[in-house]
Amino acid sequence: MNNDPASRIQDLRQFGEFGGVNPSVTDSSTYTFLEAHTMEETFHGEHAGCFLYSRHWNPSNKYLADALLAMEQTESAWITASGMAAITCSILELCHAGDHIVTSVTTYGGTFAFLKNWLPKFDVQVSFVNIADLESVKKAIQPNTRLIYTEAVNNPLLQISNIPVLADIAREKGIMLMVDNTFSPMIFTPAVLGADLVVYSMTKFINGKNDCVAGAICGPQSFINDLADVNKGSAMLLGPVLDPIRSSGILKNLHTLHIRMKQHSKNALYIARKFREIGLKVTYPGLEDHPQHELMKSMMNEEFGFGGMLTIDLKSHEIANQVKFISLHLKQIIVYPLY
């Protein structure tokens, strides 16, 4: 098996209809069928190569999905209009009234709000734990637990999840592990480490241009089929479709992701060390005193480094308000002030 995510994307050899280097953009909301029965069968999930309606599938999103599943080594993938759409559609597909989720108490704000404020309205309960405390994770699991949800690299505290052990815990209890890999594409391959589902906000590193919002879900073919089911699939019925033109742009940018991630990591490590030298309290998983430094080394694809995110403790609310955030000139390293 090819363990290099960049070359797996390149190996797809996705050419446009007329031999273009980039696949052609399919600028259409609806598609034609030569036979009525083919349309009917497509409605029932048959004829995977046929396109029904762009909210369901379109060729441009399929090209991008194929590249992502190659990168993540999953059976299939689905493209959404935002990272939150990827997270919410996946959870709503898995969980129903009466179910329970175990998740990290420190997670991206939008995800936290969905888990804490939105899901309980539909009788889905959530337990928030320190995801690095594996005993707390085990103790939080209930008979009705359906899912463990975590981030590979926590946003914004940069805590690292022990994906292989969390996967073991999930398998032992017959539940699923979903990992948000937004901060660490190519650095981690969560599905290889044992995750059942991998979600992304492609708005960040994957697209890398700060010019669009998009998300992705990578996982088993059966799960993606359920998401896309025209009668009951959460992604189909909630409709978070990404515009084909945006999808095409992300696919082009994906071909430079391996170069960008290596440089992001190199820049971040340099800055983290410089901040330390001038006396700032900095958190970065590439520093030897980070609590999960050795854990990250044991899971990561080493050539891509420790990522492009670091945090600094500015010690007071007032100083943090003066800084808000510092966008460094070294290409998309953002330092979030913690207070």
CATH 3.40.640.10 residue spans of the chain? 5-254
Report the distance separating Cα 23 and Cα 252, nearest Å.
9
Residues linked to residue 151 through DSSP beta bridges, in sequence order: 180
Give the pTM. 0.90
The answer to whether residues 124 and 144 touch, using CB atoms and an 8 Å cutoff, is no
pLDDT in tens, the chain (339 residues): 567 887 888 777 666 666 677 888 888 888 887 888 887 777 766 656 678 778 888 889 999 999 999 999 999 999 999 999 999 999 999 999 999 999 999 999 999 999 999 999 999 999 999 999 999 999 999 999 999 999 999 988 999 999 999 999 999 999 999 999 999 999 999 999 999 999 999 999 999 998 999 999 999 999 999 998 888 999 999 999 999 999 999 999 999 999 999 999 999 999 999 999 999 899 999 999 999 999 999 999 999 999 999 998 888 777 776 666 554 434 444 445 444
Beta bridge partners of 128: 103
CA nearest neighbour of 319 among 303, 301, 338? 338
Domain 257-338 has CATH 3.40.630.30: no
Tokens representing residue 306 in the block: 């420790």
Residue span(s) of the chain under CATH 3.90.1150.10 come to 257-338
Residue 29 has a pLDDT of 86
| Strand ranges for the chain from DSSP E | 76-80, 100-104, 125-129, 145-151, 176-180, 197-201, 215-219, 281-283, 310-313, 326-327, 334-338
Quick one: CATH architecture of 5-254?
A: 3-Layer(aba) Sandwich (3.40)
Beginning with the edge strand found earlier in the chain, give each strand of the sheet holding 281-283 in spatial order: 281-283, 310-313, 334-338, 326-327
Peptide bond into 164 cis (omega under 30): no
